[in-house]
Amino acid sequence: MRVTSDDRTRRPGECSHHHLKLDAHGGIVACRDCGASLAPFWALRMLADQYALALAQIDRLQDRVSNADARILQLSTELDALAESERARKESSVVP
């Protein structure tokens, strides 16, 4: 006698099948979350779409890093100018 539990985390109707399980022996592609069998072409296309989304996300993050770098440089320059004018003001108030 053998008892197995259903370890699926989702049901096929409510799943986007993003976690694939590859059976190398049978060449079968299935969803790790809901257990549905998937057409290999569908799986390949889903992976290509996810890859494109990930690349777009990387581009957006690189833009944000570049903008943050430029902003830090600008603020640093402003801070230097502020410190310089403060130092000049103190020096002129000390010397009569």
**Contact at 8 Å (CB) between 13 and 31?**
no
Q: Would you count residue 30 as binding Zn ion (CB under 5 A)?
A: no
Which of positions 31-60 make contact with Zn ion (CB under 5 A)?
31, 33-34
Closest approach of Zn ion to the CB of residue 67, in Å: 37
Of 29 and 33, nearer to Zn ion (C-beta) is 33
Q: Would you count residue 29 as binding Zn ion (CB under 5 A)?
A: no
Of 12 and 56, nearer to Zn ion (C-beta) is 12
Binding site for Zn ion (CB under 5 A): 15, 17, 31, 33-34
